[in-house]
């Protein structure tokens, strides 16, 4: 039998496991990552295997300061002005990669995603290492991202020795991905950083190339993703009741209970109507759906502004039929 995964707050232990080529789950402000030495192919292979992740989907490389970026990427130093205003924080920067980053990390692309996560334990861990950490979200491929240590253990137990417990993720939704490798900055994935705030720092509208072709630009952005085991639907409750009279219908709602179902059949993202809280709770609520006996869940979307855009992006993928 595989050794079961331990959860703890021992940063030295985490560092030693990583130095030995093992994987460690790390807390970040967005979601927990499944980390390994980004410069060692063997560790990176372990990440793909532990997640069952296809190798066409590149990994983000985490480091503690923008002064480290020049080791791993080539870029115009003027962009550090933007990066330093935004970091640490829920953003990933796509830059031209240097050869120290194994091709496996970037799935053969000539760019690498670099990110400085805003979590004190992980920043301390990164400072104590002499290599950066490749880390995708610490969930099996295609499933909901983990926002607390126990979520990682629930799904990846035995596949890594240690989970560094940094409490509940503060933002709850993965980083916003900005491509800085082209002529103009462009958004590849909506995420935990409000786009309009980003545009203030960049002092320009950002090109949005998420949906410009059938081929997802951020290679992991498949149409169906973040899918819990339960069937999620965009249809309103009344329509689901009509279509599936024999089935247990549930609802995932933004802030208010619907009159059309008993309250026990509904999960609310934020009772106070806060978009920030809804983002924080989103993945946990999607996990909760798997613990119910509901057959079909009617999903209400968030208001289309700020983090609501990123929430709705995840909900759209979660409702997409395989």
Q: Is 89 in the site for ligand TXA (CB under 6 A)?
A: no
Looking at residues 214 to 273 of the shown chain, list those that interact with ligand TXA (rule: CB under 6 A).
218-221
Q: Is 146 in the site for ligand TXA (CB under 6 A)?
A: no
* Pick 35 or 268: Cβ nearer ligand TXA: 35
Binding site partner of 58, from Mg ion, ligand TXA, none, Cβ cut-off 5-8 A by kind: ligand TXA
* Pick 218 or 249: Cβ nearer ligand TXA: 218
158: left (phi over 0), alpha (psi -120 to 50) or beta: left
Q: Is 175 in the site for Mg ion (CB under 5 A)?
A: no
Q: Is 132 in the site for ligand TXA (CB under 6 A)?
A: no
Alpha-carbon distances of 60 from 115, 123, 129, rounded to whole Å: 7, 15, 17
- Longest Cα–Cα distance in the chain: 61
Residue nearest to Mg ion (CB): 137
* Pick 51 or 253: Cβ nearer ligand TXA: 51
Stretch that binds Mg ion, among 95-103, 130-138, 276-284, 303-311 (CB under 5 A): 130-138
Stretch that binds ligand TXA, among 9-17, 129-137, 194-202, 283-291 (CB under 6 A): 129-137
Q: In the bound complex, what is the minimum distance in angstroms from residue 12's beta carbon to ligand TXA?
A: 21
Q: Is 28 in the site for Mg ion (CB under 5 A)?
A: no
Q: Which residue of 11, 94, 198, 227 would you call a contact of ligand TXA, by CB under 6 A?
A: 94
Q: Say how far apart CA 125 and CA 15 lie, in whole Å.
A: 6
Tell me the per-residue interface mask from 176 to 215 with ligand TXA, x by CB under 6 A, - otherwise.
Answer: -x----------x---------------------------
Alpha-carbon distances of 302 from 28, 165, 268, 269, 312, rounded to whole Å: 24, 29, 11, 9, 6
- Alpha-carbon dihedral sign for residues 192, 197, 202, 206: positive
Q: Which residue of 37, 92, 122, 233 would you call a contact of ligand TXA, by CB under 6 A?
A: 92
Residue 168 near residue 280, CB atoms below 8 Å: yes
- Binding residues for ligand TXA, rule CB under 6 A, total 28
- Alpha-carbon dihedral sign for residues 187, 190, 196, 197: negative
Q: Say how far apart CA 297 and CA 237 lie, in whole Å.
A: 8
Count of positions (residues) in the chain: 322
φ, ψ of residue 86 in degrees (nearest 5): -105, -10
Task: Tell me which residues touch Mg ion (CB under 5 A).
Answer: 137
Task: Tell me which residues touch ligand TXA (CB under 6 A).
Answer: 28, 30-31, 33, 57-60, 92, 94, 106, 109, 111-113, 115, 117, 135-137, 174-175, 177, 188, 218-221
């Amino acid at each position: 039998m595989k050794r079961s995964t331990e959860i703890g707050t021992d940063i030295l232990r985490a560092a030693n496991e990583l130095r030995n080529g093992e994987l460690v789950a790390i807390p970040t402000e967005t979601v927990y990552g499944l980390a390994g030495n980004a410069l060692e192919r063997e560790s990176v292979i372990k990440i793909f295997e532990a997640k069952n992740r296809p190798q066409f989907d590149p990994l983000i490389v985490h480091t503690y300061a923008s002064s480290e970026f020049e080791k791993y990427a080539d870029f115009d130093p003027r962009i550090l002005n933007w990066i330093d205003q935004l970091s640490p924080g829920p953003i990933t920067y796509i830059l031209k990669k240097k050869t120290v980053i194994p091709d496996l990390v970037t799935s053969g692309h000539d760019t690498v995603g670099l990110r400085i996560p805003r979590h004190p334990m992980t920043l301390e861990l990164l400072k104590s290492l002499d290599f950066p950490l490749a880390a995708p979200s610490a969930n099996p491929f295609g499933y909901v991202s983990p926002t607390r240590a126990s979520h990682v253990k629930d799904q990846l137990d035995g596949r890594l020795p240690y989970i560094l417990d940094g409490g509940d993720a503060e933002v709850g939704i993965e980083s916003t991905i900005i491509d800085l490798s082209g002529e103009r900055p462009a958004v590849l994935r909506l995420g935990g950083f409000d786009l309009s705030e980003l545009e203030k720092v960049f002092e320009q509208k950002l090109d949005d190339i998420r949906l410009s072709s059938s081929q997802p630009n951020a290679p992991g952005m498949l149409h169906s993703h973040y899918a819990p085991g339960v069937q999620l639907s965009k249809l309103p409750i009344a329509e689901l009741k009509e279509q599936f009279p024999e089935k247990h219908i549930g609802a995932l709602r933004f802030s208010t209970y619907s009159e059309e179902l008993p309250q026990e059949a509904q999960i609310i993202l934020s009772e106070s109507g806060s978009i920030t809280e809804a983002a924080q709770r989103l993945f946990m609520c999607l996990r909760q759906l798997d613990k119910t006996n509901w057959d079909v869940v009617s999903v209400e979307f968030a208001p289309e502004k700020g983090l609501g855009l990123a929430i709705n992006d995840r909900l759209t993928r979660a409702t997409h039929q395989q």
